[in-house]
Amino acid sequence: MIYVLGSLNMDLVAVCPYMPKEGETMNADKYYTNPGGKGANQAAAIAKLGGKVKMIGKVGSDGYGDEMIRNLASYGVDVTKVKREKGNSGVAVILVCGGDNRIILDHGANYVWTSGDVDEGLEGAGSGDILIMQLEVPMETVVYAAERAKEKGMTVILNPAPAARLPDALLSSIDMITPNETETKFITGVSPDSEVELALAVKKFYSYGIKNVIMTMGSRGSLVTYGGNIELIAAQKVKAVDTTGAGDTYVGAVACLLEEGQDVVSACRFASYASALTVTREGAAQSIPTRAEVEAFMQERKNV
């Protein structure tokens, strides 16, 4: 079983001809809402790609909360550990332009946690299970959950987004970290712009006690470390429409295949195809492909 502890946000999306300048008002080309949040997106990705996943999270007492729960359940995510709190749900205001995006978050219910919430969410988890977390919930919640998961013998995967300083108590409980380039620079102090700097960043992660690193680098592909080895995996070239959810699809795809017993390199290759398909579609969870779609895409690329 894969457990995802993290955020659920309602995305309020405006598609713009260009990013507005300071003080500028513009007309959007399109506006829509859809359920998102890094935690919910990763849970949705796992379910859509064929994995068994349980979401541990918080929503508010507003209508957005009910909609987000229904949305996750529709993909096959176990939502029995998603709790409702008084007040508003998390909201993400997203500007999309030319396949790029800018995001502003209001945490809402995502920041209302107790240790008891974590204990309840992880009830029944044990050795062989996977816990995935991000950083859109309080850091103390992430640290506590990681420690509890390690006590249970679980594998802990951290997607360190948005970028933040990681306390030693968290670093010592992580089995795998999945940063992008910006997050890598923030955490290690090394900008991974060249092969030499990539190696230095990996060495820095090793010094923190994290031996399994998956660094996503957009069009440059991804870097994977395993057993002391480093491998670069090429990105799939596609025409990007909306990059929202691409990183979450990648993380979910990796966890899904690891839970099935596949090796990390195979999991990352699969994830590169899954995330490439995601950016060709608008939205967050609804843009994530199914397992059948990814496998068909992989076969199509092999036949070209």
**Catalytic (active-site) positions:** 248
Strands of the 90-97 sheet, one edge to the other: 30-36, 9-15, 90-97, 100-106
DSSP 8-state assignment for residue 168: H
Residue with tokens 């060495």: 203
Query: Distance between CA atoms of 70 and 136, rounded to whole angstroms?
Result: 21
Tokens of 118: 């974590």
| C-alpha 44 chain-centroid distance | 10
Report how far apart the first and last C-alpha atoms of the chain are (Å, whole number).
36
- What size, in residues, is the chain? 304
| Number of other residues whose CB lies within 10 A of the CB of residue 134 | 25
What are the CA-CA distances from residue 37 to residues 8, 95, 266 (Å)? 4, 15, 26
Query: Distance between CA atoms of 166 and 161, rounded to whole angstroms?
Result: 11
Cβ atoms 235, 272 nearer than 8 A = yes
Tokens of 191: 């900008």
Cβ atoms 17, 50 nearer than 8 A = no
Tokens of 78: 């176990």
Cβ atoms 122, 3 nearer than 8 A = yes
Residue with tokens 């957009």: 218
